[in-house]
A and B are shown apart, each in its own frame.
Chain A
Amino acid sequence: MTDLLDRPQLLDVSLPPAAPPIIRLVDVVRRYKMGSGPVTAVAGISLDIAAGEFVALMGASGSGKSSLLNLLGGLDRPTTGAVWVADLNLARATKKQLVEHRRRQVGFIFQSFNLLLHRSALENVELPLMLAGVAGPARHARAAALLAEVGLAERADHRPSQLSGGEQQRVAIARALANESPILLADEPTGNLDSTTGAGVMQLLRDLNRAGRTLIVVTHDPGVAAYADRVVHLRDGQILRIETQTPDGREDGR
């Protein structure tokens, strides 16, 4: 039995996606043991996401949207089911493969930015490069270029405490881009920002998506979801419905 499971080609559900879907979720279930008994955060979700797509995961708190994002980021493993990201089933990946996945495939953007407070903006952007073993000079150059890309070239030496919320989130976005990961995972990226600043951040994310990166945003804000190609509505760990939309603010109206 184990043998069969180890050879995914024999099982229909575990088949890796052919070409375009960069992400394929197959019957993903995630249960947690809590004090009061098991809690099912994700209750059987199957979903394909194409490379270059912008998907918003929407739902009330407890709907499983963040759990899903953590599964995609390789911070967590499903209880059952398969999470295929680029040719790797995260459900069966080794620890080392998960670390590589976090380094090379995905970039995280958090609601509370999660910048290291004792490091400058530049050093924060350098972090993923440092962890991936990139040498100092190459690291500086790349981080500086990324800060320029998010419009913070002047602020490179500032500590997070010297930056506004919007600026901090831009630093965090530059950090998520550092290792040229094809997938960006954002958990309520505008949750701690006022609407104007939030809109700026969403435009930046949308631009990055248009430049070719797959973008998955968890939000409960319809205004944020409006930027996405598809909105996946979740409730109680299951997909309620999927909306395909022509996002607002897209000049070409694709």
Chain B
Amino acid sequence: MRPLDVLATGLGNLRRRKIRTVLTSIGVWVGILTVVTMVSLGIGLQAQITDIIKQWGLETVFVGPKVPQQAAGAFNAYARVRPDKPITPAVVAGFRALPGVAGVEPMMDIPEGLNLSLTFSGKSYPFILVDQSSRESLFQQQVDVTAGHALPPGETGRGLVISHRYLNGQGILPAAEAALIGQQAVLHAETPRGDKADFPLTIVGIDTATRGGKIGTADAVGLKQWWFNAPDILQTDGYAQVAVHARSLNEASQVAGAVAAQGFSAQTLQLLLDQVNRIFLIVETMLSSIGILALIVASIGIANTMIMAIFERTREIGVLKALGASNGDVLKMFVVESAAIGLLGGVCGVIGGWLLSRLLDWVIHNYLTSIQVSIPAPFFILTPALIAGALTFATVIGLLAGIYPAARAARLDPLTALRHE
């Protein structure tokens, strides 16, 4: 038999039993719909997170000092944890000289436990400082500078960038923000013990961060020297973190290796990204396992339908064999039939999954808008690979379910089959 005739015969037999075919395929389409919706959600979330990580820059290696083990639990405001090997200015210069390095940005953390207020335009406001290296939450859009410019990077960087939200919270209208750029402000710091100090700062920019402000590395070093009363803190404790920018993704891993070899901890976002991808693979597998369970049940339904169909058509099989059908012809005819049931369910499932994910996207988007959280849609992404995979999977499920019944049909003794009423 020609393959095309095998196909036509199998599909023709399905057309003869439309209702049964559709009912049998419903199991597959529910399963595929579930798999498609769940996996597309996984892909959507993964894409969002991957985008954010990529915005941070994959070619950046984050270097920190290694902290002695006994001190690792002692992160509170007053502990001065001395690293084994501080990232001194000399070490930073060494990083800058490494091959493949495009730039180096040392950063200093802000001591906690300080009582801060900020005086500008003749008024004093309570204030919070956040670390320069701190990140917004994963789903937040990138932080943009809305007026002035970002903090000058590097160890000599000085200045203050204030968050637009903070200013609004203090009753400063957005129209007045631009006028603040270039103004001198004074940061008053007070320890719980009552020590006080003033730090003059220049306001260089306004950004879309969620709270407080950030200061340049040189200013942060000054703040920390005062807090610990340690003018040589850069020699003894070193910088909190250094962002080492590699020229390319490939060079980033080499730079990370070289830095780690010097006894510092080196992290790249690529590592984080790999981890995120690994976690999502697990999440997607778990999400789709519900659908796969439905598909296993569906395959039993297909097998049942095929056994029924073969029983009904036993005599027909006998006739076909008498007319010269080989066992292989009969096998192929029925396998095509059951694979087609699977494919039909797969097509319906993919279409249904697409519609459902569009609907859920719309519902989630509307809900988030109503609570004033703006997260860029879509949450559900149907990739061509997902669609192709779902259709293939559905067809294979149908095919596997049909193999046993079809093999039984193929092995039927023609005489017995012809006598079947």
Q: Give me the interface of A with B, judged by CB distance under 8 Å.
A: 70, 73, 75-76, 95-96, 99-100, 102-104, 108, 110, 114, 116, 118, 127-128, 130-133, 135, 175, 179
A110: chain B residues within 8 A (beta carbon): 418
Give the residue name and chain of the B residue nearest to A102 (CB).
Answer: B324
CB distance from A39 to the nearest CB of B (A): 14
**CB atoms of A75 and B325 under 8 A apart:** no
Once A76-B415, A133-B1, A133-B2 are accepted as A-B contacts, the answer to whether A114 and B326 lie under 8 Å apart by CB is no
Interface residues on B, range: 20 to 34
Q: Which of A96, A175, A179 contacts B326 (CB 8 A)?
A: A96
Q: Is the CB of A130 within 8 A of B1?
A: yes
Closest A-chain residue to B6, C-beta based? A130
Q: Most chain-B CB neighbours within 10 Å: which of A102, A130, A133, A179?
A: A130
State in angstroms the CA–CA spacing of A102 and B321 once bound together: 8
- Cβ of A131: which chain B residues have Cβ within 8 Å of it? 1, 320, 323-325, 329
Q: Once the chains bind, are B2 and A135 in contact (CB under 8 Å)?
A: yes
CB distance from B399 to the nearest CB of A (A): 22
- Interchain CA distance A135-B415 in the complex, whole Å: 28
Considering the complex, give the chain B residue whose CB is closest to the CB of A95.
B327
How many Å lie between the Cα of A130 and that of B323 in the bound state? Answer: 10
Q: State the main secondary structure of chain B at its contact with A.
A: helix
Chain A, Cβ-Cβ closest to B417: A75
Instruction: Select from chain A the residue with minimum beta-carbon distance to B3.
Output: A133
Given A95-B327, A130-B5, A135-B2, the answer on whether A102 and B320 have CB atoms closer than 8 Å is no
Residues from chain B with Cβ under 8 Å of A104 in the complex: 324
Bound CA span A5–B327, Å = 27
Per-residue CB proximity of B289-333 to A under 8 Å, as 1/0? 000000000000000000000000001101111111111010000
Cβ of B16 under 8 Å from chain A? yes
Q: Closest residue to B322 on the A side, CB-wise?
A: A108
CA–CA, A95 and B1, complex, Å: 16
Q: Are B415 and A75 neighbours in the complex by a CB distance under 8 Å?
A: yes
- Bound-state Cα–Cα, A155 to B332, Å: 31
Of the candidates A95, A102, A130, A133, the one whose C-beta lies within 8 Å of that of B322 is: A102
- For A127, what are the chain B residues with a Cβ–Cβ distance below 8 Å? 320, 323
Q: Which residues of B are at the interface with A, using a C-beta cutoff of 8 A?
A: 1-2, 5, 9, 12, 16, 315-316, 318-327, 329, 414-415, 418
CA–CA, A90 and B322, complex, Å: 15
With A114-B319, A133-B5, A175-B323 given, name 7 new contacts (CB 8 A): A76-B415, A110-B418, A127-B323, A130-B9, A131-B1, A131-B324, A135-B2
Shortest B63–chain A CB gap in Å is 71
CB-CB < 8 A to A132: which residues of B? 324
Q: Complex Cα distance A25/B324, Å?
A: 22
Least CB distance from B92 to A in Å reads 78
B327: chain A residues at CB < 8 Å are: 95
Which residue of the partner chain B has the closest CB to A76? B415
Interface centre among A99, A131, A135 (most CB of B within 10 A): A131
Cα-based distance from A132 to B323 in the complex (angstroms):
9
User: In the complex, A103→B323 CA distance in Å?
Assistant: 6
User: In the complex, A236→B325 CA distance in Å?
Assistant: 32
9 tightest CB-CB pairs across the interface, nearest first?
Answer: A103-B324, A99-B326, A131-B324, A128-B323, A102-B324, A114-B319, A75-B414, A108-B322, A131-B325
Chain B CB count within 10 A is highest, among A95, A99, A179, for A99
Report the bound CA distance from A104 to B12 in whole Å.
Answer: 26
Closest A residue by C-beta to B315: A114
With known contacts A70-B415, A99-B326, A118–B16 Cβ distance under 8 A = yes
A-B CB contact pairs (8 Å), 5 listed: A75-B418, A102-B321, A130-B1, A131-B325, A133-B1
* Interchain nearest-CB distance for A60 vs B (Å): 19
Given contacts A70-B415, A133-B1, A133-B2, contact A128 B324 (CB under 8 A): yes
Known: A70-B415, A133-B2. A116 touches B319 (CB 8 A): yes
Instruction: Name the B residues within 8 Å of A73 (CB-CB).
Output: 322
Contact A108 B323, CB 8 Å, known A130-B1, A131-B1: yes
- Complex: A99 Cα to B324 Cα, angstroms: 5
Q: Which chain B positions have C-beta within 8 A of A118?
A: 12, 16
Neighbouring B residues of A108 by C-beta, 8 Å: 322-323
Nearest-Cβ distance from residue A116 to partner chain B, whole angstroms: 6
Contact A179/B315 with A75-B414, A133-B2 known, Cβ cut-off 8 Å? no
Task: Find out whether the CB atom of B1 lies under 8 angstroms from the CB atom of A102.
Answer: no
B2, B5, B323, B418: most-surrounded residue (chain A CB, <10 A): B323
Shortest Cβ distance from B414 into A: residue: A75
| Chain B hits for A128, CB < 8 A | 323-324
- Measured CB to CB, the nearest residue on chain B to A113 is B319
Q: Within the complex, what minimum Cβ distance (angstroms) separates B62 from chain A?
A: 68
Q: How far, in whole Å, are A131 and B328 apart by their CA atoms in the complex? A: 11
Which A residue sits closest to B16, measured CB to CB? A118
- Chain B residues within 8 Å of A100, by CB: 324
Chain B proximity of A191: nearest CB distance (Å): 15
User: How far is B329's CA from A102's CA once the two chains are assembled, in angstroms?
Assistant: 14
Residue numbers in B under 8 Å from A75 (CB-CB): 321-322, 414-415, 418
Give chain B residues whose Cβ lies under 8 Å from the Cβ of A114: 315, 318-319, 322, 418
Interface centre among B315, B318, B322, B327 (most CB of A within 10 A): B322
Question: Whole-angstrom distance between the alpha carbons of A125 and B362 in the complex?
Answer: 57
- Min C-beta distance of A87 to chain B, whole Å: 19
> What separation, in Å, do the CA atoms of A118 and B319 have in the docked complex?
14
Q: Which residue of B lies closest to A179 (CB)?
A: B324
State the Cβ distance, B412 to closest chain A Cβ, in Å.
Answer: 12
State the CA gap A116–B323 with chains docked (Å).
12
Q: Are B415 and A102 in contact (CB under 8 A)?
A: no
